[in-house]
Amino acid sequence: MADTLSADVVVVGSGICGSLAARKLAREGASVLMLEAGPRIRRDDIVRAFRTSPRKGDLIAPYPYSSLAPHPDYHPEDNGYLLQQGPYPYKPEYLRVVGGTTWHWAAQAWRYLPNDFRIRSLYGVGRDWPISYDDLEPYYHEAEVLMGVSGPVNNGSPRAKPFPMEPVAPSYLEQRLMTRLAPEFEVITNTTARNSRAYDGRPACCGNNNCMPICPIDAQYHGGLAADAAEAAGVTLIPQAVAYKLEHDESGRITAVNYYDWDKVSHRVTAETFILAANAIEIPRLLFLSASDRFPDGLANSSGTLGRNLMDHPSSSITFNVDEDVWPGRGPQSPASIQKLRDGDFRSEHAPFRIDFSNSSRVTSITEDLIKAGYFGAALERELRARTAREISVKNVLEQLPDPDNRVMLADEKDALGLPKPLFSYSFDDYVHRGMAASRTAFERIAELMGGTDIRHSPEGKYSNNQHITGTLSMGADPADSVTDAVGRAHDHENLYMASTGVMPTVATCNSTLTGVALALRSADAILGRV
Amino acid sequence: MKPLLSLAALLLAAAPALAQESAQVARGRYLATAADCGACHTAPGGQPFAGGLPIGTPLGEIVSTNITPSQAHGIGGYSLEQFSRALREGVRADGANLYPAMPYPSYAAMTDEDVAALYAYLQEAVDPVEDSPPPTELPFPFSVRASMTGWNLLFLDDDRFTPDPGHDAAWNRGAYIARALAHCSTCHTPRNALMAEDGTRALAGASLGTWYAPNITSDPVAGIGGWSAEALKRYLATGHSGEGAQAAGPMLEAIDKSLGKLTPGDMDALVTWLRDVPPVSEGAAPGRVAQAAPASADLALMAGTAPEGAQLYADHCATCHQPTGAGGNGLPPLLHNAALLHPTADNAAMAMLDGVWPEHGQSMPAFAGVMDDAEIATLTNWLFAGFGDAGVQLDAARVAELRAGGAPSPLIGLARTGVAVAGAVILLVLLGLAFWLLRRGRRRA
C-alpha cells in the first residue's frame, strides 16, 4: 500500500456517465477524484491509427490495448478477455481509455419512450422501472444540452424544451428512404449527439462518414470531451488506475477503493461517496472482487441479482441492392430510423424493435466480397463502382427482456494484474426470436419498396449485438430483486452509487447512452440532496 | 441614385417585419449594421446595444457602453447634436472624451443625413435597456479622458465625406462605405511610428499582432488586383471567394456581422471602389509557389517514415481537406489557398490555433488545445512548402506569441476596436510631451 488519497467523491470510470456526473458534482464544490483503468488518448492519435490500419473494418483496431486494463477484441481473433459459458456467446466490444467507449459510437442519443418504463404493467413482460419517463425528462434535457443533441421532434419521446439545435441535414440516401418508404414506413432522422451547427466550441458535422471508429473533428460528442469537461470543472483524473477492491465498514458503508497503477503498485482512496461508473460488466466484476466476510457474494448483492439480467440489443440485418444509385457513405454513418415498431400491444407477444439504416461507406466490405468472388481488374472496378452506389444495409435494434440466467460472473482465469476475467452465461428466448421474425417481415417489405435485388439476410438465429450493455445493476423499488434503488444507489451501501447503463432495468429499443447519462446526472442530483 | 436603390432593396427585403418603420429609421438600422455598431455595443448573449463587451487592450479593458435609448443608462437623453458630437468628434453629452476604441475618427466622415438616420434608429427602434455595464477603468494616466483632446487635435480629421466628381456615383458610394462606415483602413493600412495610418501606403496590409490584414490594393501580385469582381463580392458577402480564399478571424466577424449584410447595390459600390484603390506593391510573398500538391505519402505514413509535417497533416487535416489538399464538399482546397500565399504565415497558424467559426456554414475546429507550438509551426511550414509559397515560414516562438495574443505590439486589438491602442500610445507620447514642456517651463522660470 503506497499511499492513501482522499476526496469527497471518488468516481471509478471516466466514461461519459462518470465524467458528466463528476463534472456536475465538482461544479457544486465537491472535491472529486476520478479513476480510469485505461490510458489517456488523443483524437489525432486515433485518426492516425485508423488511417494507417490495414483493417479499416475493425473499429476497435485504432484504439490502444493494454493487458493491464484489457478490453475485448475479436479481430483478427478473440483475445480471450471475455470468457463464455454459453449457450450463446456474448461478445460485446468496449474500450478502457479516458473517456470510455463513446469515443467510438455513431452518437445515437435517443430517449426511451414513456411506455418503455412500464412494460410489465402494460404488456405483462419484463419489469417496470422504479421511475417514470417524467422523472427522467429534465435529466434527458440536461444531457442533451451537454452533449449537443439534435433530432426531429416526432420521435415518440415527448419533451418539455426544444433540442439545443436543429437535426443534421439528411443525406441523399436518407432522403431517398424517406420518400420511397412513405407512407407505409415513416423514416425519421436519428436523434444524435452530432452537431448540425457550431456548438460548444465544436464544429458542425461535415459528413466525413467516419463516426466510427473516430470523428476526426469532434462534431460528434464523446466521453473524451466529457472527461475534459470534468477536469476543467476541477475533477482530478488519475488514468491507468485499475480499481480492484472496495472496502466497507461494519455498517456496510463504503470506506475506500483500492487500485493498481500500471506498475502494479496498489493505492488506496478514501471518500465520503463512491460512484461506480465503469460499464455494466466491469462494475459487477469489481463488486464481486470486493466480496468480504460480511458480503461473501460480493458487494451490493444481497438480492443475488448482481451481474444478472444482462441485456444488450441483439440485431439481425438485411443487405440488398437498391434499384437506383443512393450513394451510402455520404453524411453521418447512422442517419435514420423507423420508429413504428418500437411500441404497441404486440409487445406482449414479441420483442419490439427500431429499424436502423446504415449509411456507412460500403467500399471496404464490397471490395472484400468481390475479391473473394474472384473479381479482378476492370471487372472488379466496374462492379465495385456499381455496388457501392446501391448496396445498403438495414438492421434492427431489438428489445431483449431481463433474464436472471443471462449474467456476468468471475472466471477462474485471470488477467495480467491477476484479476479474474469476466465470464458470461447468455441466451435468447422466444420473445427475441419472435421479434426477429416480425423484423424479417418488415425488412423484406422495405427491400421490396426499394426495389431490392440480391437480398441477403443475416444468418437465422445468429444475432450481432450493439454494445448496449445493461441490466446487471438493475434499479428497482424492491431490494430483494434489484441491485440499486431509484436513484442508482446500492440498496446495501448507503454511500455507493452506480452511474452506468447497468442500472437500466430494461433495454428498450434505442441506444442506451443518453438514458445512462440522464440517470447519472440524476444520481448526481441525489448525491447533492436534490432528488 | 445607387444609394436610394440600395435602400429600396433593403426596405423591400425587410418589408413584412418593418412595415411601420419610417424610411429614416430603416436607413438608420441599415447604417448601424454597415458601421457594425452592434459588434462592440452588444455583449455576447446580451441585449442589443446594451454595451458591456470588454475590449481587451494592452492598457486594460475598455468596456463598451449602453447606447440604447434609456434615459438613465443609455443615450435616451441625447439631442441629435449631442449624438452627432459623440459619433463624429468623440465627445459625450457631459463633455467628457470618449476613448478612440469608438471609431469616431472614421465616423467623422459620415454625412449629416446619415447621422440623423442613425440617431432616429437608435432612439426609436431600439428597446431601452435600464442597466449600465461596468465602467471602463484604465490605469492612470489613461484614466484622464480629457487628455484625448490633444490626440484629437493631432489625428481627428473631421471633414465630412465629399464625393469625388472625377468618379461616378457607385465609386463614391463605395468610398463612403469603406471610409465612413466599414473603416477598412483601420486594419489594412500600415501605421507609422506614431501609430497613425500611413496614407501613402493605404490598404497595403498590416499585422494586427496576431492576424494579418493583407494588402487589399489593386496590385495584381501583392494585392487583390487579380481577383474578379464576382470573387470579391462573394468573399465580402459570404467569407468564401469561391476561388481559394476564405475569411477567418476578425475579417470573418466583420463579414458575418456587417459586410455580409450590405445591399447588393452597396456591395457592388464597395467592390467598384476597392478594385480602384491605387496599387501598392509591398507585402508580396516571395513567390516560390508549388505547382502541384505533394505526392501522396500513404506508404511513408503507414511505415512511419513520413516527414513530421506530412504526419501532422494526415492526423489533423487530411480527413476534411483531403490528402492532396483538394478540399471538396464545400471545404476549402489548400493547394494555392490565399492564406498560404500571404507574405506571413500568421493567418494560417492563427486559423489552426483558433479555428474558423462563421455564423453560418461549416466551421473548422481549433487546434490550440491539440497541438503544441512546435507542431503548429512544423505543420504550417509544411503547408506553405507543399501547397503555398515555400518562401514563407514561421517558427515555434512566433506560434507561442500568436497563442499568447500576439507579439507585444501596440496594434493588438485594433481588429475590432478601431484605434483604441493607437490612441493610447499617442496619449502616452502627448503626456510625455506635456510633462517635458512643463519641466522646461519650470526651468525657465
Residues B422 and B343 in one domain: no
B363 interaction partners in chain A (CB closer than 8 Å): 198, 203-204
Output the CA–CA distances (angstroms, integers) from residue A197 to A149, A331, B240, B358, B440, in the order listed: 11, 14, 18, 10, 63
pLDDT of residue B147: 65
> DSSP string of A176-225?
HHHHHHTTTS-EEE--BSB-SS-BTTBPPP---S-TTT--TTS-B--HHH
Output the CA–CA distances (angstroms, integers) from residue A440 to A88, A323, A341, A461, in the order listed: 21, 20, 12, 12
Residues B268 and B147 in one domain: yes
Query: Is residue A217 within 8 angstroms of chain B, CB to CB?
Result: yes
CA distance, residue B317 to nearest chain A CA (Å) = 9
Question: Which among B312, B331, B370 has CB closest to A206?
Answer: B331
Query: Nearest to residue A46, comparing CAs of A93, A3, A102?
Result: A102
Query: From the candidates A47, A172, A214, A327, which should be mutated to test the interface with B, based on the most B CB atoms within 10 A?
Result: A47
Q: A51 and B318: CB-CB below 8 Å?
A: yes
A72-81, B130-139, B227-236, range with the lowest pLDDT = B130-139
pLDDT band per the 50, 70, 90 thresholds, residue A2: low
Q: Is residue B286 situated within a structural domain?
A: no
Query: Is residue A202 within 8 angstroms of chain B, CB to CB?
Result: yes
Catalytic option among A248, A313, A468, A493: A468
CA gap B30, B37 in Å, rounded: 11
- Percentage of residues of chain B with pLDDT beyond 70: 82
Residues B396 and B423 in one domain: no
Q: Is residue B193 situated within a structural domain?
A: no
For B410-417, what is the mean pLDDT?
43
Residues B338 and B427 in one domain: no
Q: Is residue B196 situated within a structural domain?
A: no
pLDDT of residue B141: 64
3-state secondary structure at position B341: coil
Q: What is the pLDDT of residues B185-221, one digit of tens each?
A: 888 988 776 566 788 999 999 988 889 999 999 999 9
Q: B329 and A218: CB-CB below 8 Å?
A: no
CA distance, residue A521 to nearest chain B CA (Å) = 26
A47 interaction partners in chain B (CB closer than 8 Å): 314-316, 319
Domains of chain A in start order, with CATH, are 1-148+221-311+403-428+469-531 (3.50.50.60), 158-212+315-399+429-462 (3.30.410)
Q: Which residue of A has its CA nearest to B318?
A: A216
> Is B43 within 8 Å of B50 (Cβ atoms)?
yes
For B401-414, what is the mean pLDDT?
63
Query: Nearest to residue A360, comparing CAs of A337, A333, A395?
Result: A333
Quote ipTM for the complex. Answer: 0.89
B329 interaction partners in chain A (CB closer than 8 Å): 206-207
Residues B162 and B111 in one domain: yes
> Is B371 within 8 Å of A47 (Cβ atoms)?
no
A218 interaction partners in chain B (CB closer than 8 Å): 365
Output the CA–CA distances (angstroms, integers) from residue A275 to A17, A30, A70, A491, A527, in the order listed: 10, 13, 21, 14, 10
For B394-399, what is the mean pLDDT?
97
> Is B245 within 8 Å of B327 (Cβ atoms)?
no
- Who's near A283: CB < 8 A, 6+ residues apart? A12, A13, A276, A277, A472, A473, A498, A500, A502
A217 interaction partners in chain B (CB closer than 8 Å): 319-320, 365
pLDDT of residue B15: 46
Alpha carbon of residue B255 to chain centroid: 9
Q: Is residue B200 situated within a structural domain?
A: no
- Tell me the pLDDT of chain A averaged across its residues: 96
pLDDT of residue B426: 60
CA distance, residue A95 to nearest chain B CA (Å) = 21
- The residue that leads in pLDDT, A254 or B294, is A254
Residues B307 and B243 in one domain: no
A44 interaction partners in chain B (CB closer than 8 Å): 312, 315-316, 370
Q: Is residue B206 situated within a structural domain?
A: no
For B351-358, what is the mean pLDDT?
96
- The residue that leads in pLDDT, B291 or B395, is B395
pLDDT of residue A325: 97
Q: B370 and A44: CB-CB below 8 Å?
A: yes
CA distance, residue B377 to nearest chain A CA (Å) = 17
Q: Which residue of A has its CA nearest to B371?
A: A44
Q: What is the pLDDT of residues A113-124, one digit of tens each?
A: 999 999 999 999
CA gap B24, B32 in Å, rounded: 12
- Tell me the pLDDT of chain B averaged across its residues: 85
Q: A210 and B319: CB-CB below 8 Å?
A: yes
Query: From the candidates A206, A225, A228, A330, which should be mutated to test the interface with B, based on the most B CB atoms within 10 A?
Result: A206
Q: A198 and B363: CB-CB below 8 Å?
A: yes
CA gap B60, B274 in Å, rounded: 34
Query: Is residue B404 within 8 angstroms of chain A, CB to CB?
Result: no
pLDDT of residue A56: 85
For A340-362, what is the mean pLDDT?
97
Indicate the pairing of strand A266-276 with strand A254-261.
Answer: antiparallel
CA gap B51, B185 in Å, rounded: 25
Place of cell 443487405: A319
The enclosing domain of B326 has a CATH number of 1.10.760.10
Query: Is residue A182 within 8 angstroms of chain B, CB to CB?
Result: no
**Is A75 a known active-site residue?**
no
Residues B60 and B141 in one domain: yes
Helix axes A16-27, A513-527, angle to 10 degrees: 30
Q: State how many domains chain B has.
A: 2
Q: A208 and B320: CB-CB below 8 Å?
A: yes
- Who's near B95: CB < 8 A, 6+ residues apart? none
pLDDT of residue B194: 59
Query: Is residue B8 within 8 angstroms of chain A, CB to CB?
Result: no
Query: Is residue A206 within 8 angstroms of chain B, CB to CB?
Result: yes
pLDDT of residue A1: 46
Burial of A4 (0-12, 13-18, 19+ CB in 10 A): exposed
Q: What is the pLDDT of residues A213-227, one digit of tens each?
A: 999 999 999 999 999
> Is A121 within 8 Å of A140 (Cβ atoms)?
no
Residues B150 and B41 in one domain: yes
A204 interaction partners in chain B (CB closer than 8 Å): 362-363
> Is A50 within 8 Å of A103 (Cβ atoms)?
no
Hey, which of A279-288, B187-196, B297-306 has the most confident mean pLDDT? A279-288
Q: Taking 60 as the threshold, does the pLDDT of residue B281 lie above it?
A: yes
Query: Is residue A201 within 8 angstroms of chain B, CB to CB?
Result: yes
Amino acid identity at A282: E
CA distance, residue A204 to nearest chain B CA (Å) = 6
Q: B315 and A44: CB-CB below 8 Å?
A: yes
pLDDT band per the 50, 70, 90 thresholds, residue B5: very low
B319 interaction partners in chain A (CB closer than 8 Å): 47, 208, 210, 216-217
Q: How many CB pairs under 8 A join A and B?
A: 47
> Is B77 within 8 Å of B66 (Cβ atoms)?
no
Region at A206 (left for phi over 0; alpha for psi -120 to 50; beta for the rest):
alpha
Q: Is residue B281 situated within a structural domain?
A: no
3-state secondary structure at position A396: strand
Query: Is residue A44 within 8 angstroms of chain B, CB to CB?
Result: yes
pLDDT band per the 50, 70, 90 thresholds, residue B137: confident
C-alpha cell at A103: 469515443
Question: Which among B312, B314, B357 has CB closest to A51?
Answer: B314
Q: Taking 60 as the threshold, does the pLDDT of residue B419 lie above it?
A: no
A216 interaction partners in chain B (CB closer than 8 Å): 319-320
pLDDT of residue B59: 61
Neighbours of B437 (CB within 10 A): 10
Output the CA–CA distances (angstroms, integers) from residue B376 to B306, B315, B316, B379, B396, in the order listed: 17, 12, 11, 5, 7
Residues B250 and B385 in one domain: no
A43 interaction partners in chain B (CB closer than 8 Å): 370
- Percentage of residues of chain B with pLDDT beyond 90: 59
Residues B159 and B32 in one domain: yes
- Percentage of residues of chain A with pLDDT beyond 90: 96
For A352-357, what is the mean pLDDT?
98
> Is B74 within 8 Å of B47 (Cβ atoms)?
no
Domain extent, residue B341, equals 298-405
Question: Which among B314, B329, B370 has CB closest to A48?
Answer: B314
Neighbours of B192 (CB within 10 A): 11
Q: Is residue B361 situated within a structural domain?
A: yes
Q: Is residue B290 situated within a structural domain?
A: no
Residues B265 and B324 in one domain: no
Query: Is residue B351 within 8 angstroms of chain A, CB to CB?
Result: no
Query: Is residue A166 within 8 angstroms of chain B, CB to CB?
Result: no
Query: Is residue A207 within 8 angstroms of chain B, CB to CB?
Result: yes
Query: From the candidates A44, A171, A333, which should be mutated to test the interface with B, based on the most B CB atoms within 10 A?
Result: A44
Residues B365 and B428 in one domain: no
pLDDT band per the 50, 70, 90 thresholds, residue B160: confident
> Is A99 within 8 Å of A223 (Cβ atoms)?
yes
